[in-house]
Amino acid sequence: MLLDVFTTRQSVREYSAKPVEREKIASCIEAARLAPSACNSQPWKIIVIDEPALRNRVAGALHDAVMKGNRFALDVPVLVAVVAERSNFTATVGGLLKRKPFAWIDAAIAAEHFCLQAAAEGLGTCMIGWFSEGKVKKLLGIPRLRRVPLMLTLGYPATAHLRNKVRKPVEEMSGFNRYSGIR
């Protein structure tokens, strides 16, 4: 059941050295490809980084003096760059009129599809938003006008331990027919 994948998917920060099979990566890419998007624009590219020397250089761009917590990326078998591409005309106009970054929203949906499929394949992932986008773009040859809203780590978790999910109660994060929070 899909809810089982949601229950077991967690951010993984410790990975085994076991290589990730290309077939499993391909299934994660396919899941991302099938993600919905505004006006079917599909404004994303998924770049898989598994060549060790390049992966190490990209991993170095995922942490700095402020965000030392991302150093775990140095020991990850695979990194994934999620590139926000240009939306089609209809989605671009709609995004401008509604002041919503549809390309970024769509890329994030594709990234989550990727992560959920990875969990179904027995793989771990972690979404990273704090990194040197300029360094990543330069290392991967990403054009200047494209953005990289997310990086993902991918690999086999070092442990099968599932952490207890700490989440807000349903009543606090949802409601029916009207907003029910602090105004």
Interatomic CA distance for residues 161 and 7, integer angstroms: 13
For the chain, give the percent of residues with pLDDT over 90: 87
Q: Where are the alpha helices (DSSP H) in the chain?
A: 2-8, 22-33, 52-60, 89-98, 102-120, 133-140, 170-173
Q: Do 80 and 46 contact (CB within 8 A), yes or no?
A: yes
For the chain, give the percent of residues with pLDDT over 70: 99
Mean pLDDT of 143-147: 96
What pLDDT, on a 0 to 100 scale, did the predictor assign at position 20?
A: 98
The better pLDDT of the pair 65, 45 is held by 45
> What's the longest Cα–Cα distance across the chain?
53
Mean pLDDT of 11-33: 97
The residue extents of the domains of the chain are 11-159
pLDDT for 167-176, tens place per residue?
A: 999 999 998 9
The better pLDDT of the pair 108, 183 is held by 108
Q: Please say if the pLDDT value at position 67 is more than 80.
A: no
Categorize the per-residue pLDDT at 183 as very low, low, confident or very high, splitting at 50, 70 and 90.
Answer: low
User: What tokens were used for 1?
Assistant: 């059941």
Interatomic CA distance for residues 109 and 27, integer angstroms: 16
What pLDDT, on a 0 to 100 scale, did the predictor assign at position 32?
A: 98
- pTM (2 decimals)? 0.94
Mean pLDDT of 115-138: 97
- 11-159: CATH number: 3.40.109.10
Q: Please say if the pLDDT value at position 96 is more than 70.
A: yes
Interatomic CA distance for residues 2 and 113, integer angstroms: 12
